[in-house]
Amino acid sequence: MSDLAIRTTGLTKRFRAQTAVDGIDLAVPRGSVFGFLGPNGSGKTTTIRMLLGLVGATSGTAIVLGTDMPKGLDAVLPHVGALVEGPAFAPFLSGAANLARFDAADRHAPPSTRADRVAAALDRVGLSHAARKKAGAYSLGMKQRLGLANALLMPRDLLVLDEPTNGLDPQGTREVRSLIRSFAADGTTVFVSSHLLAEVEQLCTHVGVMSAGRLVAQGTLDDLRRSGVSRVEVVTPDPGAARVVLARSGLATDPAAPTDAGDAVVTAELGEHAPAAEAIVAALVRDGVRIRGFAVRRTSLEQRFVELTGEGFDVVA
């Protein structure tokens, strides 16, 4: 268990007749940036609430930082920072005053160093200049960064961030993305719930995909892509001959599609035992097939997500 920051076994949550989370087995490596993906209603937020001890599981277990939750709540939470469903601050208090208020509620936080911790957290997220500004006057991006500062008031081994870039403009998104990278570079495990493809591909080392309460895939980004279907694509004025060669190589071809230049695109699925791309090209050339273009199209993360869930990424999670 020491190599995992989060591990669940058969974790289930039912609300009367509805099963929100259905027997999931999560494995989040320590030091990873783990992207927790899924469309609206897939069970992501309910899972996060169980991991943080905010709701009890109907059945199954959740081990966070090596401790059973929610039994070990008091021991675990001081080492966990969380930003769930957006930050909520007193609008009439300054950013610094809001952080001091939250820090005072943490019985593990020594009062004598509170001012230093607040200043350091604000500096970490680039809000030192707005420390005395009322939180009600903060932009959405500034509020998100203030929420991250709150999660960083004490040293954390695990950060749990629910849609950390939700509603941000491109500049705010870049700022939060840079912050998350810096947390991971310091060795903190970051668990990011998101539905944004660009965020996941740029930030995460590992991914888990939820659909209708079930964990339908997890692993590294490369593992997830490799588990999808790859295709070979040949642009040629000789589509019939190309299909014959590809079929002889053991590849099932799709109907040829015309191009604007008058050529045709012949595609075929690359199975587990398909020849190497170089061998396919050599076979085409050997049989006199004229090749205008050749490519191997790997399954993108978005395509794989659609295959697993039946939905795209432009959903609000």
- What's the average model confidence in pLDDT over 269-285? 85
The count of C-alpha atoms lying within 13 angstroms of the C-alpha of 21, restricted to the half-sphere facing its C-beta, is 28
Check residue 157 and report its DSSP letter. S
pTM, rounded to two decimals: 0.75
1 has a pLDDT exceeding 50:
no
For residue range 75-131, what is the model confidence (pLDDT) as tens digits?
898 899 888 866 678 999 999 999 999 999 888 888 999 999 999 999 988 899 999
315 has a pLDDT exceeding 70:
no
Alpha helices in 27-90 (DSSP H): 44-51, 73-76
CA 261 to chain centre: 40
pLDDT at 310: 67
- Residue 51, CA distances (Å) to 38, 47, 248 in order: 17, 6, 52
313 has a pLDDT exceeding 60:
no
139 has a pLDDT exceeding 50:
yes
Q: What is the mean pLDDT of the chain?
A: 86
Q: pLDDT exceeding 90 applies to what percent of the chain? A: 42
φ/ψ bin of 298: left (φ > 0), alpha (ψ from -120 to 50), beta (otherwise): beta
317 has a pLDDT exceeding 60:
no
Q: What are 240's strand-pairing partners?
A: none
- Which of 9-23, 131-145, 222-236 has the lowest average pLDDT? 222-236
Cα distance between residue 317 and residue 314, in whole Å: 9
pLDDT at 273: 74
Q: What are 7's strand-pairing partners?
A: 27, 63
pLDDT at 67: 92
Which domains, ranges and CATH numbers included, belong to the chain? 4-225 (3.40.50.300), 229-298 (3.30.70.260)
pLDDT at 2: 64
- Which of 8-17, 69-78, 224-233 has the lowest average pLDDT? 224-233
pLDDT at 228: 64
Tell me the pLDDT band of 244, cut-offs 50, 70 and 90. very high
Q: Report which listed range, 5-9, 54-58, 267-271, 275-279, is most confident.
A: 5-9
Cα distance between residue 96 and residue 150, in whole Å: 10
For residue range 185-230, what is the model confidence (pLDDT) as tens digits?
888 999 998 877 767 778 889 999 888 899 988 988 877 776 666 7
Cα distance between residue 125 and residue 144, in whole Å: 10
Asked whether 264 and 257 are in contact (CB, 8 A), the reply is yes
Query: Cα 31–34–39 angle (5° rounding)?
Result: 170
In the chain, the DSSP E strands lie at: 4-15, 18-24, 27-29, 33-37, 59-64, 67-69, 80-83, 158-162, 189-194, 206-211, 214-220, 230-236, 257-258, 264-270, 293-297
pLDDT at 186: 85
pLDDT at 234: 92
pLDDT at 133: 95
Cβ-count burial of 18 within 10 angstroms (0-12 exposed, 13-18 middle, 19+ buried)?
exposed
- What's the average model confidence in pLDDT over 228-237? 84
Cα distance between residue 211 and residue 177, in whole Å: 25
